[in-house]
């Protein structure tokens, strides 16, 4: 499993048998913005994801386990074999490449420097769950057609947010880096209900690089199972002694 594939999944990146489609839970358009992020302590999920960048086209299955605001664990498999395992906490990102018998360890500062984007735990968690990355100020929110929109800034980044007037969920966010001029666009759709909490079923992320010589990267995630767990779950991660650090 190529390291770039795993890192992009991490960056851009509760569906049990009792899930219901959002059409059954969203009412009419509203005039007041009231965004509510899902509440849970532990959850697990299974999804299909696709990665496209230059000549790299990867389709795989990803299993997620999350302890909210603390740990994200991802296992990536293809053709029935686990190819990579990822463990993210509030300080570090660890990647285990089982195909090449290699492993990688980054602080968020190192990861941000290598990929020219400000990665942090809350941003990754927000992308995976469809939450707002930056909070909104009520005085700056505008109502346009079917969306509430607002722009927030953090350092050199501008976050353009589009919240559905019916769903009251983030449906699109564009993150613009004023330094590199790169843009990440993430679209959320096909919302579903899991144990009274609302999650996006489909996520599509596109990284648009300003440099003409660097082609865009596209990542799609389609969840097919998510469970809000009743109690603690495990996050297994260990590096075999024969693996080489890269």
pLDDT tens digit string along 83-113? 999 999 999 999 999 999 999 999 999 888 8
pLDDT of residue 94: 95
Looking at domain 3-234, which CATH architecture does it have? Clam (2.50)
Question: From CA 157, how far away is CA 148, in angstroms rounded?
Answer: 20
Per-residue model confidence as pLDDT tens digits over 115-128: 666 788 988 898 88
Q: Are 51 and 58 in contact (CB under 8 A)?
A: yes
Q: Is the pLDDT of residue 22 over 50?
A: no
State what percent of residues in the chain have pLDDT above 90.
36
- Average of per-residue pLDDT across 233-244: 96
Sort 77 into a burial class: Cβ within 10 Å, 0-12 / 13-18 / 19+: middle
Question: From CA 75, how far away is CA 88, in angstroms rounded?
Answer: 12
For the chain, report the end-to-end CA distance as a whole number of angstroms. 14
Domain ranges for the chain: 3-234
State what percent of residues in the chain have pLDDT above 70.
86
pLDDT of residue 44: 95
In three state form, how does the secondary structure of 115-145 look?
HCCCCCHHHHHHHHHCCCCCCCCHHHCEEEC
Q: Which long-range contacts (CB under 8 A, 24 or more apart) does 216-220 make?
A: 216/53, 217/8, 217/51, 217/52, 217/53, 218/50, 218/51, 218/52, 218/53, 219/8, 219/9, 219/12, 219/13, 219/49, 219/50, 219/51, 219/52, 220/49, 220/50
């Amino acid at each position: 499993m190529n390291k770039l594939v795993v890192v992009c999944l991490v960056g851009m990146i509760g569906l049990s048998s009792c899930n219901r489609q959002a059409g059954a839970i969203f009412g009419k358009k509203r005039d007041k913005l009231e965004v509510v992020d899902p509440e849970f302590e532990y959850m697990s999920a299974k999804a299909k994801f696709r990665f496209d960048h230059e000549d790299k086209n990867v389709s795989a299955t990803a299993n997620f386990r999350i302890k909210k605001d603390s740990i994200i664990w991802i296992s990536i498999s293809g053709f029935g074999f686990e190819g990579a395992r990822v463990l993210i906490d509030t300080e570090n990102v660890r990647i285990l490449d089982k195909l090449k018998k290699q492993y990688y360890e980054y602080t968020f500062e190192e990861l941000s420097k290598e990929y020219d984007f400000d990665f942090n735990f809350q941003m990754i968690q927000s992308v995976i769950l469809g939450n707002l990355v930056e909070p909104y100020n009520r005085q700056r929110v505008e109502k346009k057609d079917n969306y509430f929109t607002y722009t927030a800034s953090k350092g050199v980044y501008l976050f353009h947010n589009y919240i559905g007037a019916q769903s009251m969920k983030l449906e699109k966010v564009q993150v613009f880096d004023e330094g590199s001029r790169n843009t990440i666009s993430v679209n959320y759709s096909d919302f579903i209900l899991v144990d009274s909490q609302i999650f996006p079923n489909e996520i599509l992320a596109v990284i648009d690089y300003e440099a003409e010589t660097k082609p865009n990267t596209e990542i799609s995630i389609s969840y097919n199972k998510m469970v809000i767990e009743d109690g603690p779950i495990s996050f297994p991660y260990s590096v075999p002694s024969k693996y080489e650090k890269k």
